[in-house]
Amino acid sequence: MTDAAALPGQPRGGVIDGTGTTRAVCVLAPNPSPMTLDGTNTWIVAEPDSSLAVVIDPGPLDEGHLRKVIATVERTGRRVALTLLTHGHADHAEGAARFAELTGTAVRALDPALRLGDEGLTAGDVITTGGLELRVVPTPGHTADSLSFHLPADAAVLTGDTILGRGTTMVAHPDGRLGDYLDSLRRLRSLTVDDGVHTVLPGHGPVLDDAQGAVEYYLAHRAKRLAQVETAVENGHRTASEVVAHVYADVDRTLWPAAELSVRAQLEYLEEHGLV
């Protein structure tokens, strides 16, 4: 979900559906909006020689989309063996229970309320379905339950809404917290520096081929916005709505409600650090 229109990366030929890496392919959900960009990216991940696939973020409760995901898996001679969630927002997770029903799979997530089956997801978990290696990376901030998935074999990371393929994401206050989000971005930066990750497979928008550049852009953007919010408060803009109108004046007004959530998170951060 976006809160601004700046571009850390450009679409790869303008095509999202069907793009990805050697092991990951995107099936785009038909739910485009100012908040979801082109729609939710449902990711199918599998080893090239495996008969099993993992699906990340089945997306909204759209029967046609869920069946398209299954058909895409089956066309490769595979079956869905596991469903994972990056976080619980409806555009990513609402269809998970129905998808699990259609595929007979468990749903693993950080939030127990979203799980179907006995196993959840925690930091450091490694998914090995069908020989695949997916490492669970905690990336709270957008929401408290946000996770990313490191795919070492493709030098890629699936980021959900933590990093988008276009624009920037909101910090969904009060569940999301800016301090957590900044820590998560730094954690992802370490993957690009220490683990060689160069590709971002986002929850919305196109694939990004410069993961480190995207992370650095996000960190710089957050620092800039935080400074703007701090200045706005110093200039007498006290409420979140007043700050949004001042700081986000150049942003489409349809995104102001999301921006206000981020501003609330920024105001909370500034207060906690004694800066306002």
DSSP 71-112: HHHHHTT-EEEEEE-S---HHHHTTHHHHHHHHT--EE-SSG
Mean pLDDT, range 132-148, rounded to an integer: 98
- Report whether pLDDT(12) > 90: no
Alpha-carbon distance values, 219 to 68, 128, 153 (Å) = 36, 32, 26
CATH entry, 2-212, from 3.40.50.2300, 3.30.2350.10, 3.40.50.20, 3.60.15.10: 3.60.15.10
Largest Cα separation within the chain, whole Å, is 62
Which residues, in sequence order, are bridge partners of residue 192? none
What is the DSSP annotation of 37-65? BT-BEEEEE--TT-SEEEEE---SS-HHH
d(CA 172, CA 33): 17
- Report whether pLDDT(2) > 90: no
**Which single residue is written with the structure tokens 């650095």?**
216
**Percent of the chain topping pLDDT 90:** 89
**What's the token pair of residue 197?**
């990750």
Enumerate the domain spans of the chain: 2-212
Who's near 19: CB < 8 A, 6+ residues apart? 12, 25, 26, 206, 207
Which position has the higher pLDDT, 251 or 160?
160
pLDDT computed for residue 4 by the predictor: 40
- Report whether pLDDT(156) > 50: yes
| Average pLDDT of the chain to the nearest whole number | 93
Mean pLDDT, range 73-92, rounded to an integer: 98
- Report whether pLDDT(14) > 90: no
Could you tell me the pLDDT band of residue 9, with boundaries at 50, 70 and 90?
Answer: very low
pLDDT digits (tens, 9 = 90+) for 231-265: 999 999 989 999 999 999 988 899 899 999 999 99
Mean pLDDT, range 140-167, rounded to an integer: 98
Which position has the higher pLDDT, 2 or 183?
183
